[in-house]
Amino acid sequence: MKKGQLLITSNDVLKLYKSNAKAKKQLYRYKSWFPLIGSKKLSGVVADLMCDGHLQGDPWWRFDYTFKLFEEKNRFENEIFSLFGIKGRARPCTTNKFSKTFNYGVNCRPLARLLCLCGVPSGNKVLTKYSIPHWILNDKENFRRFVQRFFTCEGTAWGGTSPGIRIEVWKKISIMDNCKDMLDTISIYLDKFFKIKTTRTFTTKSQNKRKDGNITKPLRIHIKRKDSIITFHNEIGFEDKAKQKKLINIIKTWDGKGR
């Protein structure tokens, strides 16, 4: 994809409405969004919502982004505002029993529809099939930003005698093949753009039975090779300070250097 290539027009969004007259009325105030162009910043937003977000589709059309630190909320808020001129509100997340988190909610139906067209999955992501949009995969810088946010949200790094980096995604067993395809795609493009080698996508014995009766399992890819870990550090890295510090410490044990 050439830089600055057209991504979505207002007519594309109109097709998601049942009433054309109502759609045109709602979209008129947001006409400055169109035509929407693929960008690094938009790629990061798609990754944020694909990992730590929740987009509600028809009939609500809204989205939340879950965060722990308010500096993270500010980053996401500023990126949404700079792209679309829209702001939401932060509130405590009452459904997370494992840690204290917050949701940054945006109640803008046209924007939720637009982000869905950009590739953000709607509904419960653990139970939903989705893939990385081609407009991200076809551009090195878009992919760099997407995968940086993906690893920041879903990834971790560890040191010791066998250091590494991983991302892990949980999925309903019946759609694990779809998740494997997505992680395989990340592996392929990490190699294509940055020569970063990963393990094959694999699962573990762990599983979880949800309240709705669905059984979920994790899928992972690891970066274990020394040269690939160094390249990941130099080319991508984590935006989470604690995760990035772990990555830097791994590099320091090898050459005394770090970013």
Q: Which of 88, 123, 158 is the last residue of a domain?
A: 123
Query: What secondary structure, in 3-state letters, does 187-235 show?
Result: HHHHHHHHCCCCCCCEECCCCEECCCCCEEEEEEEEECCHHHHHHHHHH
Q: Do residue 182 and residue 231 come from a single domain?
A: yes
Q: Do residue 247 and residue 138 come from a single domain?
A: yes
Q: Do residue 59 and residue 139 come from a single domain?
A: no
The answer to whether residue 128 sits within a structural domain is no
Mean pLDDT of 42-47: 98
Per-residue pLDDT at 4 exceeds 60: no
Contact, 258 vs 203, CB < 8 A?
A: no
The residues facing 221 across adjacent strands are 167
> Which band of pLDDT confidence, cut at 50, 70 and 90, is reported for residue 3?
low
Q: Look at 20 and 86; give whichever has higher pLDDT.
A: 86
Based on the structure, what is the number of domains in the chain?
A: 2
Q: Do residue 93 and residue 140 come from a single domain?
A: no
pLDDT of residue 97: 67
In 10 A of CB 223, how many CB atoms?
A: 23
Q: Which of 123, 147, 179 is the last residue of a domain?
A: 123
pLDDT of residue 78: 98
Q: Do residue 236 and residue 172 come from a single domain?
A: yes
Model confidence pLDDT, tens digit, residues 201-250: 999 999 999 999 999 999 999 999 999 999 999 999 999 999 999 999 99
Q: Do residue 237 and residue 138 come from a single domain?
A: yes
E strand or H helix at 141: helix 140-154
The answer to whether residue 46 sits within a structural domain is yes
The answer to whether residue 199 sits within a structural domain is yes
Structure tokens at 129: 């099939």
Model confidence pLDDT, tens digit, residues 76-120: 999 999 999 999 999 998 877 667 899 999 999 999 999 999 999
CATH number of residue 202's parent domain: 3.10.28.10
Distance set, CA 243 to CA 41, 154, 161, 236 (Å): 21, 11, 18, 13
Q: Do residue 238 and residue 190 come from a single domain?
A: yes
Q: Do residue 47 and residue 89 come from a single domain?
A: yes
Q: Do residue 117 and residue 145 come from a single domain?
A: no
Omega of the bond prior to 163 within 30 degrees of 0, cis? Answer: no
Q: Which residues span the domain enclosing 110? A: 6-123
Model confidence pLDDT, tens digit, residues 66-79: 999 999 999 999 99
Q: Do residue 23 and residue 112 come from a single domain?
A: yes
**Average pLDDT score, the chain:** 93
Contact, 176 vs 217, CB < 8 A?
A: yes
The answer to whether residue 1 sits within a structural domain is no
Q: What is the DSSP letter of 175?
A: G
Per-residue pLDDT at 47 exceeds 70: yes
> Which band of pLDDT confidence, cut at 50, 70 and 90, is reported for residue 5?
low
Mean pLDDT of 113-134: 96
Per-residue pLDDT at 2 exceeds 50: no
In 10 A of CB 147, how many CB atoms?
A: 26
Q: What is the DSSP letter of 156?
A: E
Q: Which of 81, 99, 123 is the last residue of a domain?
A: 123
The answer to whether residue 169 sits within a structural domain is yes
pLDDT of residue 234: 97
Structure tokens at 240: 């989470």
The answer to whether residue 142 sits within a structural domain is yes
The answer to whether residue 151 sits within a structural domain is yes
pLDDT of residue 259: 41
Model confidence pLDDT, tens digit, residues 156-204: 999 999 999 999 999 999 999 999 999 999 999 999 999 999 999 999 9
